[in-house]
Amino acid sequence: QTVVTQEPSLTVSPGGTVTLTCASSTGAVTIDHYPNWIQQKPGQAPRTLIYSTSIQQSWTPARFSGFLLGGKAALTLSGVQPEDEADYYCLLFYGDVHVFGSGTKVTVL
Amino acid sequence: EVQLVESGGGLVQPGGSLRLSCTASTFTFSNYWMHWVRQAPGKGLVWVSRIEKNHGRYTSYADSVKGRFTISRDNAKNTVYLEMRSLRVEDTAVYYCATVNEPLGAWGQGTLVTVSS
């Protein structure tokens, strides 16, 4: 069974920078996994921020950027705002199925 | 505005069945693969199933639902369905429909399925 691992929680100061990562139990994450990054705030539906590794949705603030780093998918938040406090999930494609990561709770403090 | 609206959730006994619907508006529904994702109370997102765009001949499922859930679509009604059978307590979750890995990036608001006796 494929497992996708993320940091359980990260804390960042307002205006700071934080990088979330997404690792696959099958090996290195590549562009062929089409990494997506999804944000979910308490009580709200999920919202996709990034797809195909690095492409921003039309509503995604420029401070969110997706890329590959050291065999993992990564999401960097630069100039963090209080409203960025949320759960962040990565989603990877494995040829027939998709698998979500365990999620990272980002706290802005 | 792109919209996905799920319906059909509710309370069902273990071993029972339920059919969820997700109706799309303001985009060309038949051009998109459609997905179902679920989230148990207080837990993370879990991918459930997807169906090919256009004729929907190709489908795939997570191992946890394979053989029990069936995804289908009716492009004339702009609707994707999730037929759920042999429901278990662990299927209790909010079920979302969504487009994945697309510029559309659409998600519904979800419908709650509770499996309990």
Q: Is A67 on the interface with B (CB under 8 A)?
A: no
* pLDDT band (50, 70, 90) for residue B106: very high
Q: Are B18 and B87 within 8 A, CB to CB?
A: yes
Mark yes or no for CB contact B101/A99 under 8 Å: no
Residues 6+ apart with CB under 8 A from A7: A20, A21, A104
End-to-end Cα, chain A, rounded Å: 36
Q: Are A75 and A90 within 8 A, CB to CB?
A: yes
Mark yes or no for CB contact B62/A97 under 8 Å: yes
CA triplet B52, B54, B58: central angle to 5 degrees? 30
Q: What is the pLDDT of residues A67-90, one digit of tens each?
A: 999 999 999 999 999 999 999 999
pLDDT score at A21: 98
Q: What gap in Å lies between CA A106 and CA B16, rounded to an integer?
A: 38
Q: What is the pLDDT of residues B22-58, one digit of tens each?
A: 999 988 999 999 999 999 999 999 999 999 998 899 9
Which residue of A1, A51, A96 is in closest CB contact with B102? A51
DSSP string, B59-74: EEE-TTTTTTEEEEEE
Q: What is the pLDDT of residues B89-99, one digit of tens each?
A: 999 999 999 99
pLDDT score at B18: 98
Both tokens of residue B105?
């990036």
